[in-house]
Amino acid sequence: MVSYAHGVTRATASAQYIERDEVELETHAGLRLPDKAAVAEEIRAWSSSFEKRSPSQDVVNVRLQLSGLRDTPEDRERLGVAVAAAFDGHRHAVRIDALSSGHLEARAVVVMARTISPDENAANCNARANGETRPTRPPRIRVIEQRMGTTEDAPMHKVFDARSEAAMKARIETATGYPQHGISIEPATPGHGRDALGQRLSTLISKAPARDQLGNPIRNAEDIPDFTRDWSRHLRSQTPRDTMHMVVSAKANTDVKAFTNAVRLFLHQQFSDHKFMFGVHTDKVKAGHIHAHAIVAVRSDSGTKLHPGPNDLAQWRVNYAAHAREHGLEVVATRAAEQASSRSYGPKDKSIVDVAANPRPARKEQDRAYAKDTRNANLIQNAQERIEVARANPIRIPMTERERVGVKESLEHWRSEAKASPENEIARGMVQRLTAAHEAGSLLKELKHVTGPESEVVRPRMASPSQKAASERPAHVMTQLPKSAAEMQDELRSFNQKVADVTALLPEGSRAKFVERAGTYLEKIASCVDQHWAEEVRARGERNSTKQPAAMVHYGRPLYSEKKPHVSGMTRENQDPRGVVRSVSVNSQQHTPQTSSFVDDPLVQLKREQAGLLEKLSKECRNKDQEHGQEAGG
């Protein structure tokens, strides 16, 4: 799914984009559209079923004045109170100006939908869960057109509707005591969506800084993205959808004729009651890139509308794959999560990067200025990084239960495929990829459970006499006792070994994130081991009436720690570009315990074993990389 369009102009532009490079389009009725004029005519024929309503009014510029106010501190404060009262409950930013006449005027940018409070949102969720009628959402501020005279040729101007204006003036009168006849509130043309919000905030601060409803300053263009990101969640923006633009892709060396027939049958079967047109792009077939674009009317001939969700898109993939196999194409319907693939980039990311790198002929100056503007640097860089990550396609570790189930089911499928066709390299590669993703996700789930709030690992306690007595009861009445320090130490050793094993399975681009996430959990476990050892030592000291030196409890940090040791222990691992640990060193200033039973600190010994284990793993990985490099060079 690429995008939706509303209105004849946007729908025509989407359809004519497909027609580029003289690609002939085909409609649901089998009609051929050879050029842009034919495409535009077909969209106009569809427009009788298009939505007549306009996009939602989301943001508006407002001028607010109270007659007689002068440029004094008292009147500035009074005008600020009036603005806060008028737009109470709405995200807004305001700038107060002194006019040449000496009077004050407030300029504001206002989100027209009132912010939903947490209590209102909770009530809404509860009603939906109980199948009850959900509470009516608070109305928006609305702007209408009004004629400035009695004749038909009198000009039109924007005003607030009667309900909105009356409510705002009433709140101002209550807050300031100012009579409503002395209050002037004038709106500009409302805007739609996040882009309009950013544009209006930029206009507001073009002459002087502004402040939001909480008093936070908006000084320059660098501040705007943060406010836009926060406010956009409260826009409650709605756009009618008339057409849907979707893409069906094929792998390299796919037969173009078979692919075209499969796409045609899929569209006729899936959207039999909808108007559609499609075209196949083969301009990059030599690069192994063949795909079809389709424009589908959202409203069917019978009046129903498409509202596709994730499950619908998954079913569409299954249906297309079935038609493709009927035409001899090897296509299996899988989701990105089932292939442990990283999230793809969108057409907006590609457009941002393309415009910055290759200015369009008709907009060279604007595109060059856009690319050079330092305010766009992060936007362009982030889009480029998303594209690079998607193309490199590192393993995406499943973090949720739904993702883990999908990866496990897909792994079982590819294992059966590999078993049935041992020579199938794709199947073997997917088994390796999904095995690594499954092992990494399962281990992180286990580590998260162990370090969770209900785990004894994060709340170690010494066993009380009653607990010791309980341990002597029959097994069927025994309760689970807290782990000892030695048991927790063994558990830490086991987890470190598992992390090392899984790290070896992961490819280069996926190791660093896994090690970082696993290290967070290992840090918690190691801290608890330290604490538990200290409590056990303290307990022995109290029983033996012998006070042990404080340095005994400093056993060091875990192998994957991001922190530096305070007295003794391990330094942070040195990592090569692959994220593999190269070496670990023990601080020579470590104190030696005074009691012979602690001369060979078990946790320090564990650290030494870990260092050796990962040094061995690092050497093996480097040797494999060298072998691959030699093969590539040969």
The DSSP element (H or E) to which 579 belongs, if any, is none
For residue 469, name the pLDDT band (cuts at 50, 70, 90).
very low
- Calculate mean pLDDT across residues 455-480: 43
Residues 92, 225: one domain? Answer: yes
Residue 466 lies in a domain: no
- Residue 358 DSSP label: S
Judged on CB neighbours under 10 Å (0-12, 13-18, 19+), 597 is: exposed
Instruction: Say if residue 202 is in the same domain as residue 100.
Output: yes
Same domain for 414 and 527: no
The three-state secondary structure class of 6 is: coil
Angle at 439 between CA 434 and CA 441, to 5 degrees: 90
Q: Tokens 């003794």, residue?
A: 568
Banded pLDDT at 491 (limits 50, 70, 90): confident
| End position of a domain, from candidates 370, 392, 414 | 392
Q: What is the pLDDT of residues 391-445, one digit of tens each?
A: 777 888 888 888 888 888 888 878 887 888 888 887 888 888 889 889 999 999 9
The residue written with tokens 């023990």 in the block is: 586
Residues in the chain: 634
Is the same domain home to 522 and 574? yes
The verdict on 71 and 176 lying in the same domain is yes
Q: Are residues 324 and 257 in the same domain?
A: yes
Co-location of 504 and 492 in the same domain: yes
- CA-based nearest residue to 167, from 78, 86, 60: 86
What's the Cα-to-Cα distance from 593 to each of 554, 557, 603, rounded to whole Å? Answer: 10, 18, 13
Residue 476 lies in a domain: no
Q: Is the pLDDT of residue 581 over 50?
A: no
Tell whether the model's pLDDT for residue 297 goes beyond 90. Answer: yes
Predicted confidence at residue 471, as pLDDT, reads 42
CB atoms within 10 A of CB 58: 25
Tell me which residue has tokens 């792009």.
281
32 has a pLDDT exceeding 60: yes
Segment 20-28 mean pLDDT: 85
Is residue 379 domain-shared with residue 399, that is, in the same domain?
no
Q: Is 161 exposed, middle or buried (0-12, 13-18, 19+ CB in 10 A)?
A: middle
Is 207 in the same domain as 348?
Answer: no
Q: What tokens does 275 get?
A: 């108007």
- Poorest-confidence range of 205-214, 554-563, 578-587? 578-587
If one counts the domains in the chain, the total is 5
Q: What is the pLDDT of residues 63-110, one digit of tens each?
A: 999 999 999 999 999 999 999 999 999 999 999 999 988 899 999 999
In this structure, are 292 and 346 located in the same domain? no
By CB neighbour count within 10 A (0-12 exposed, 13-18 middle, 19+ buried), where does 512 fall? middle
- Give domain status of residue 381, yes or no: yes
Asked if the structure places residue 473 within a domain, the reply is no
Cβ distance 114 to 140 under 8 Å?
A: yes
Q: Which tokens hold the place of 69?
A: 């106010």
Burial of 159 (0-12, 13-18, 19+ CB in 10 A): middle
**CATH code, domain carrying 28:** 3.30.930.30
Cα atoms found within 13 Å of the Cα of residue 335, Cβ hemisphere only: 20
DSSP 1: -
More confident residue, 474 or 407: 407
Residues 6+ apart with CB under 8 A from 509: 392, 394, 395
**The pLDDT value given to residue 530:** 83
Helix (H/G/I), strand (E/B), else coil: 409 = helix
Tell me the pTM: 0.56
Burial 39-54 (b: 16+ CB within 10 A, else e): bbebbeebeebbeeee
Give 229-238 pLDDT, tens digit per residue. Answer: 889 888 988 8
The per-residue pLDDT for 203 is 92
AA identity, residue 339 = Q
> In this structure, are 42 and 67 located in the same domain?
no
DSSP codes, 38-78? HHHHHHHHHGGGS--SPPP--EEEEEEEETT-BSSHHHHHH
Last residue of a domain, one of 430, 453, 476: 453
Question: 442 lies in which domain range?
Answer: 394-453
pLDDT exceeding 90 applies to what percent of the chain? 29
DSSP 459: S
Average pLDDT, the chain: 78
Neighbours of 397 (CB within 10 A): 24
Q: For residues 368 and 202, which has the higher predicted lDDT (pLDDT)?
A: 202
Q: Is residue 438 included in any domain, yes or no?
A: yes
How far is 347 from 355, CA to CA, in rounded Å? 12
Give the model's confidence band at 557: pLDDT under 50 very low, under 70 low, under 90 confident, else very high: very low
pLDDT confidence of residue 465: 45
Amino acid letter at 455? S
Last residue of a domain, one of 204, 234, 264: 234
Euclidean distance between CA atoms 296 and 242, whole angstroms:
9
User: Would residue 135 count as lying in a domain?
Assistant: yes
Question: Distances from the Cα of 207 to the Cαs of 72, 97, 211, 262, in angstroms?
Answer: 20, 10, 13, 58
> Do 614 and 516 share a structural domain?
yes
For residue 181, what pLDDT band results from cuts at 50, 70 and 90? very high
458 inside domain: no
Query: Quick check: is 472 in a domain?
Result: no
Question: Which phi and psi (to 5°) does residue 245 adopt?
Answer: -105, 120
